[in-house]
Chains A and B, each alone.
Chain A
C-alpha cells in the first residue's frame, strides 16, 4: 500500500488490519529483532531532515551552516521534506518504502543536559522522574522473566540482547543487572572470556563490597555461559553485502547482521556512534554540505543502508527493524562558531525490511513557532517505543503500558494512516462546527450496527480521548470540552468503512 500523507495532516486508523491480525497470531513466537542506533551527543535534526517548505526561515536561522536548497536530497512522495546531502543511503531506503521519519520527537519539560536527557531516553522516564531500569531492560524482563538465574534455557539459549561495545547501555538495565551481553569481537569473545569459570562461589555479605562482588561473579558466569553460542553464530553467519570502511557504526552493524544470520535468537541489538555534540564547526566554512556533521550522517546513513542490504541478501530483512535516536536535537538557530547549542525536538528514523506503512509521522517542524530557539515537540519518544513494542515486537498494549509505565499511543509508522481529505465523499455530518462544548455526528452510513470506534486526533497525529454517546441509530454526541482550541480530525469506523471529517474547536 502506498503511504498516504497530505499536508502533514494525518490520523491513525484504528481497525484491525490483516497485518495486525497476522502479527497478533505470531506474537508469542515471532522471530523479530529490534536494533537500536544511538547517536550520542545530540544530533542536529534540522540539518538532517530539512524543511524544504520553509527554506527562507531556515536560512535566516542558520545562515552559516544552512544546507543549500539545491543540495538537499529529495524524497519521493513529498516536495516539502528532504535529507542532508550525505544521506544517500537512507534516501534510498526511504524511497523503497523501508523507512519512516518521525518528526520532532521529544517529551514534556525537556532536559538539555546530555546526561539527564540520555537517561530519560534510556529509562523512558518522565522529565521529573528518575528510574533505575532501562525500557529495553523492562521489556526483556517481561518477555524473559527470571533472568539471569533461569538462563540460558532450552527455549532461549542465546543472549537476550547484544550490544556491540565493551559495556552495555542503561537502556538495557533490568531489575537486577544488564539484560545484555557486550561483545566487541564475536570471533575472539569465547577465547577472551575463557571456556569455563573457575570461581569459588563463596558467600557475599550485604555490604557495598559484597553486592558488587556478587554482581561481578554474575557477569563472569553470564559471559562464559553465552560464549559458545556466540562463537557458533559468528562462525555460521556470513556477511553478503559490502560495508563501508572507516565507519565505526557500519563495523558494529556488520557484526549484528552476521550474528542474526548465524542464528542467534537475540531480540535486541544495540549499536552507537558518538560525536554529535556539534557546538562548533559542524560544517565546512565554504561548503555547508560537508564537514564534521556531514561525515557523521554519512556514517549513519551508509551504515544502515549496507546493513539492510546485507540482511536482504541473507533473506532475513523482514525480521529486522531499527530506530535511531539521540538525547536531544539542537537549536534551530546556529551560533557564530558554525555550530549549534543544545535544543529540544528532533526527528527519529525507523527502518524495517517490511511493515513500514506511514513514512512521515507528524509534519515538518514550524520554524516560525519555536520555543525559545528550539523546535517544539510533536511526538513523545515513548510513542515510538510503544509502536516498536506493540506493532513490531508484537507485545500487547498491556505489556507496552507496563514497560513504558503508562499508556502511550503508538506512533503510527507501522500502521496505515488516513489523511484528512483522503476521500471527501466518505464523510459524515459534524455540527456545530466550529464547536465549543459538544458536537453531533450524523450519517446514514453509520448503519444499524453503529460505530465500532471514534477517534479524535490533533494536527500532529496525536490521538486524544473524548466521551461519545449514541443518541439515535444514526446520531452520536461527542463532548469536546476537554480539548484545547484547535483543528482536529475525527475518524469513525462503521462495520464496513472509515469516515473522517475535520473539526474546529473554538472558544
Chain B
C-alpha cells in the first residue's frame, strides 16, 4: 500500500468534501465547488495559507473591545461570553482554512479553561498565541505556552518556586503536551522539570486598575541547581543557571531535550492523526504513517506545515476506508451544519450574535463539548479516553444531537427576526436533476453523508420517507410543478416532504460520521 506517497488525481466532489470535513468544520456549497477538481497539492496549499489576525472580541453590553482594558468585575460574565462566542463565530464564518480547526485542536491540547482562569483577557491572549502557532513551529509554541499567563494560572506554574515546587505543569508538560506516557519518563523527571520551571509568574490577573498583563521571571525564586533527568532523556542534565535569563535558558534547554526524543514527535503525530484522520491506529498505520510523519516533523524542526501537507495529500488520506471513519464532534456537527447551509453569524458584537453564540454553546455543552471548558487538563475525553470518539455517543447525546438537527431543519432557531436553519428546498434545487428521485437521492446522500448509503437505504429514503405510500413518480410531478410556477403553497408542499427527509437522514447513524 502506498501510504504517504502523494495522491495526484484531481479531487472528485466526494474527495473534496472529505478533505474539507476533516481540515475545516465542513464545507459550504461554494467551497465544495471551489475545491472539486483541484489537485490535492493545490487544495492543501489553499487550506494552509496564512490568515489575517481577526479583530478582537466585542462586549455586546458596551459595544467595545475589553481585552485592552483593566478587569471589570461587573462585566466578567459578559466578557467570558463575548470571548467564547467570538471564537465560535470565527469557526462558523471562516473560509476554507485549517486554522480554526487547528486552533481547536491545540486549545484541546494545551488545555486551560475559563472556569479555572476566570479572566477572559487572559484566555484571549492565549487564543491569539494558539492562532499564531496553529500551523507553525511547535518548539517555540511549547516554550511560549509554558510562559503563557493563562497557562501559568491554569496549571499553577505561577506558584512553582524554588524549595516549594508545584508539580502540576512539570507533569502535564511531559504527560500531555510533549512526550506522553509512552516516553517512559519517571516521577523524578516530573520533579526535575518542575525545578527547571521555577520562578515564572504572571502579573495583572483580574487587575481592575491596569490593563497590562505580563509574565516575569523572578530569578530569586528560581531553583539554580543542576537538574538531572532519567534514562528516558539519556540521563541529560539541565545545567542550573542564575540571573535574569536563567529561566528562558533552562526552559529552552529542557524543551530541546524533550523534543530530541523520537517519542515526542510520535506522540504529537498520533494525536493529530486521531483528530484529523482516524481514531484507530493499526500497527500498519503506526509504521507507515505515524513513524514517517514523526520523522518529517523532527527533520523539519517541528514545523507543522510539512507534516500536514504530506498527510492531506497522501494516498492514505484519500483511501475509502478513511472516509467517514470519525464520529463527528459536537462542534463539527453544530458549526458544520451552519456552514453546510451557507449561513454566517449575525454581525459580531450585536445582541443577536451573542444570542446565537449562547444557543450553540448550550447545545455543544449538553453534547459534552463545552467551548473553552474542558472537564480536565486532559481535554475532551473522546480525544484520549478508552473508547475515543464513541464516547461522544450515548442515548442522551444522540437524542440531543437530534434535538438540534430537528430545530435546525424546522426553522426554530431565530434571532432578531432571522432564521438560522436549513433551506432544504434550496439544497435540493442546487442538485443537477432534482426532479429525478433516484438521481436526486444519489447526489443528496453523497452530499449529506460521509459514508455511502446502500441502495436499499436510498430506496427506503425515497419510498418510505420522501413519498411514503405513494408511487415514486409523484415526486417529479410535485417538484416540477413547483419548479415551473413556484408559488408559496407549492413550495410549502415540497418543503414539507424534503424537511421530513432531512429530519430522518439526520437521525440516521451514518449522519454522525465525518
Contact = CB atoms under 8 A, between A and B. Distances in A.
A192 B403 contact: yes
Contacts of B509: 199, 213-214, 216-217, 220
B465 to A, nearest CB: 9
A132 to B, nearest CB: 6
Contacts of B395: 181-183, 189, 193, 219-220, 222-223, 226
A341 B168 contact: yes
B391 A337 contact: no
Contacts of A207: 321, 325
A277 to B, nearest CB: 7
A113 B181 contact: yes
B399 A223 contact: yes
Interface in A298-352: 335-337, 339, 341-342
Given A339-B156, A339-B159, 20 more contacts: A41-B376, A112-B190, A114-B376, A115-B384, A166-B396, A167-B394, A173-B387, A189-B395, A193-B396, A198-B504, A199-B507, A200-B464, A207-B325, A208-B321, A209-B321, A216-B327, A277-B376, A277-B377, A339-B166, A372-B187
A119 interface: yes
A199 B508 contact: yes
Contacts of B389: 212
A220 B381 CA distance: 21
B156 A167 contact: no
B16 to A, nearest CB: 18
B278 interface: yes
Interface string A11-30: 00000000000000000000
Interface in B161-189: 161, 164-168, 171, 175, 181, 187
Contacts of A116: 181
B457 to A, nearest CB: 5
A173 B386 contact: yes
Interface residues of A, number: 56
A184 B395 CA distance: 10
Nearest to A163: B394
A375 to B, nearest CB: 15
B48 interface: no
Contact of B396 (A132, A182, A199, A213): A182
B80 interface: no
Interface in A181-216: 181-184, 189, 192-194, 198-200, 202-203, 207-210, 212-216
A208 B280 contact: yes
A170 interface: yes
A366 B236 CA distance: 35
Nearest to A216: B509
B451 interface: yes
Given A170-B387, A173-B387, A335-B166, A209 B398 contact: no
Nearest to B391: A167
Contacts of B327: 212, 216
Interface size class of B (residues with CB under 8 A): 35 or more
B75 to A, nearest CB: 24
A115 B453 CA distance: 37
B249 interface: no
Given A212-B390, A280-B156, A113 B175 contact: yes
A274 interface: yes
Given A40-B376, A208-B279, A342 B171 contact: yes
A223 B393 contact: no
Contacts of A41: 376
B253 interface: no
B388 to A, nearest CB: 10
A202 B456 contact: yes
A361 B334 CA distance: 50
Interface of B: 155-156, 159, 161, 164-168, 171, 175, 181, 187, 190, 278-280, 321-327, 366-368, 375-378, 381, 384-387, 389-391, 393-400, 402-403, 450-451, 453-454, 456-457, 460-461, 464, 504, 507-510, 512-513
A41 B115 CA distance: 15
22 contacts: A112-B187, A132-B386, A166-B368, A166-B397, A167-B381, A167-B391, A183-B395, A192-B396, A192-B399, A192-B403, A194-B399, A199-B508, A203-B454, A208-B278, A208-B322, A209-B450, A213-B512, A219-B398, A335-B165, A335-B166, A342-B171, A372-B187
A200 B321 contact: no
A193 B454 contact: no
Interface of A: 40-41, 112-116, 119, 122-123, 132, 166-168, 170, 173, 178, 181-184, 189, 192-194, 198-200, 202-203, 207-210, 212-217, 219-220, 222-223, 226, 274, 277, 279-280, 335-337, 339, 341-342, 372
Contact of A209 (B325, B367, B460): B325
Contacts of B507: 198-199
B476 to A, nearest CB: 23
A267 B197 CA distance: 48
Contacts of B279: 208
A222 B324 CA distance: 23
A113 B179 CA distance: 14
Given A209-B450, A219-B398, A279-B168, A115 B378 contact: yes
Interface centre among A170, A203, A219 (most CB of B within 10 A): A219
B400 A342 contact: no
Contacts of B457: 200, 202
B386 A119 contact: yes
A280 B165 CA distance: 12
B398 A342 contact: no
B329 to A, nearest CB: 13
Nearest to A224: B395
Contacts of B512: 212-213, 216
B510 A213 contact: yes
Query: What are the 9 closest A-B residue pairs judged by CB atoms, nearest first?
Result: A223-B395, A336-B164, A337-B159, A216-B509, A208-B325, A209-B324, A192-B399, A182-B394, A279-B168
A189 to B, nearest CB: 8
A337 to B, nearest CB: 4
A30 B411 CA distance: 51
Contacts of B399: 192-194, 223
B453 A202 contact: yes
A181 to B, nearest CB: 6
Contacts of A216: 327, 393, 398, 509, 512
Contact of B166 (A170, A200, A279): A279
Contacts of B461: 200
B394 A168 contact: yes
B445 to A, nearest CB: 12
Contact of A170 (B376, B386, B393, B464): B386
A422 B389 CA distance: 56
B72 to A, nearest CB: 23
Contacts of B377: 114, 277
A342 B168 CA distance: 8
A219 B161 CA distance: 49
Contact of B385 (A170, A181, A337, A341): A170
B220 to A, nearest CB: 14
Contacts of B402: 194
Contacts of B378: 114-115
A342 B172 CA distance: 11
Contacts of A194: 399, 402
Given A198-B504, A200-B457, A274-B376, A342 B394 contact: no
A212 B166 contact: no
Given A337-B156, A372-B187, A209 B167 contact: no
A274 B370 CA distance: 15
Contacts of A226: 395
A209 B323 contact: yes
A339 B156 CA distance: 10
Nearest to A167: B394
A231 to B, nearest CB: 13
Nearest to A218: B509
B158 to A, nearest CB: 8
B161 A336 contact: yes
B157 to A, nearest CB: 10
